[in-house]
Structure 1
């Protein structure tokens, strides 16, 4: 208490000056409309600035929930897109959730390997979300891989950067099919083989998933042709494909369920037995 009295005594002149200044400013503002309007304007500006900064902080803290909401919306849009005959056009009418060949499930990559010859992803969705083996996995840019194993809440995905994965794809402009594999060298590129030399291919052509795949819808982007090699022994092309996805940096992803896949596989297996 004594320290407070000492402070007031030592600074009594300054405190008296500030008190009188405050009183004079208050009287001036109250008695003159111009000064009053300027004071109100300054107060509003200060309040607005504080609110703006608070809003920026709140928006930053809400980024995670906003990203989750956007990812869920993208999943619904992709489901609508994959269930149209022409994937270049979005349907005008909303397709009910239980209708359509494809179902899309939102998920996120929590672990990503890309330095091995056989790379896998771990995602935070599992059997409780409806995931099973051999479901397709994509991002907003294109194909990522195929579900390999599932637990209740998680799943592993065999990546495009895995030498075991063989993905049927096609050249978009002419529908010539081939098989996409990875040679284990560059994380930005995969190799397309079994494309006949009668096909017209040039650098920059787009590679997409083919109609023969029972895992992915047709025309999902994969990459672009970067280099063209000719195998003179087999009379087929080997194409170097620059992947659309940066496989070393993956976040929100989408799992695609083909509801007709089991029926198609059963029919194909029964046909082989009959032969």
Structure 2
């Protein structure tokens, strides 16, 4: 306390000057509307900047919950879209609450994503307890990612399309020509589409999609675009380089697809074997 008193006594003239200056400024502001408006404007500028900064910080930390809500909404919308397009040939009004749709979508977060190896896998945070099953297709909002290979109670392993063992039916968007999608182990942004017959009319920039020739992926899910193509040694099939829609090095969340008719289709397929 004594130190405070000594400080005030030593600097009494300076402190008195500051006090009188503040009083004078206060009287000036109160008696002149121009000065008062300038002070208010400056105060609003400073406080506005602080509030904007505070809002930006809060918005950043709120992104996690916002993203989670968007994933839930996208999951719901994908399922509703499946219902709406399940019978495009019918003119009847469909009761979507009871209609048996061929596909359901389940959202999941990626907790591990390999893309630098020859055979890459992805780990997601949903498993058997969340209705995730082996042989479900896995996609993002941009395109395909892979196929569920194994599950535990709470997790699942996805065989990535960046895997030498991956084989997915795919083809040209503008025709019924299709082949086998594979990866040569080189560029994580490029995959190869093999066995497209030479009769197919193709050009750079054409879109490649899933062709629905299996029980895993619905027809029409995007994969990428043609960046280059060559003929095989026998001059009978194209080997097409496909630039992926997905950035496979940056996969944050996915949707697993269940085909409700898969077992029935597989049963019929075994009858031909």
**Separation in structure 1 between the aligned mates of residue 98 and residue 14 of structure 2, nearest angstrom:** 73
Gaps spanning 5+ residues in structure 1: where? Answer: 88-92
Structure 1 residues 169, 153: closer, same or farther in 2, change over 3 A?
same
Match of 1:210 in 2: 211
Equivalent in the alignment of 2:152:
151
Deviation at 1:148, TM superposition (A): 0.9
What is the match of residue 5 of structure 1?
5
Any conservation in 1 of the 2:121–2:163 contact (CA below 8 Å)? yes
**Contact persistence 2:86–2:102 (CA under 8 A):** no
Using the TM superposition, give the Cα deviation of residue 33 of structure 1 relative to its aligned residue in structure 2, in angstroms.
4.2
In terms of mean alpha carbon deviation, does 204-213 or 93-102 score higher?
93-102
Contact 2:208 2:226 in 1 (8 A): yes
Aligned residue in 1 for 2:91 = none
1:124, 1:104 → 2: CA distance?
A: 15
State the distance in 2 between where 1:86 and 1:245 align: 29
Match of 2:125 in 1: 124
- Cα offset for 1:178? 0.6
Query: Offset at 1:213?
Result: 2.2
Task: Say whether the 8 Å CA contact 2:173–2:208 is kept in structure 1.
Answer: yes
Q: CA deviation at 1:232?
A: 4.2
Secondary structure of the equivalent of 1:3?
A: helix
Matches within 5 A, 1:79-94: 79-83=79-83, 84-85=85-86
CA contact (8 A) 1:82 1:217 kept: no
Distance between the aligned counterparts of 2:196 and 2:236, measured in 1? 9
* Separation of aligned partners in 1, 2:47 and 2:186: 58
Cα deviation, 1:62-92, whole Å, max 9, x if unaligned, reads: 12222222222233333334442599xxxxx
Rounded Cα–Cα distance in structure 1 between residues aligned with 2:14 and 2:95: 72
Distance 2:100 2:51 in 1: 46
2:259 counterpart residue number = 258
Superposition deviation, residue 234 in structure 1 = 6.8
Shift of residue 94 of structure 1?
Answer: 10
More deviation, 94-103/227-236: 94-103
**Kept after mapping to 1: 8 A contact 2:126/2:154:** yes
Residue 241 of structure 2 aligns with which residue? 240
Residue of structure 2 in register with 1:221 after alignment: 222
Match of 2:176 in 1: 175
Three-state SS of the structure 1 residue aligned to 2:25 is: helix
Deviates more, 1:70-79 or 1:197-206: 70-79
- Take 1:137 and 1:30, find their aligned partners in 2: how far apart are those partners? 68
Name 1:249's counterpart in structure 2.
250
Paired residues of 2:224 and 2:244 also in contact (CA < 8 A): yes
SS of residue matched to 1:175: coil
User: What is the Cα deviation at residue 96 of structure 1?
Assistant: 4.7
Question: Could you say what the CA RMSD is over the residues aligned between the two structures, in angstroms?
Answer: 2.4
| Partner Cα separation in structure 1 for residue 230 and residue 242 of structure 2 | 11
The superposition leaves residues 137-190 of structure 1 with CA deviations (integer Å, 9 ceiling, x where unpaired) of: 111210110011111221110000111111011111111011111122222222
State the match for 1:105 in structure 2.
106
Matching residue of 1:195: 196
Structure 2 match to 1:90 = none
Shift of 1:131: 0.5
Q: How many residues align?
A: 267
| Structure 2, unpaired ranges of 5+ | 89-93
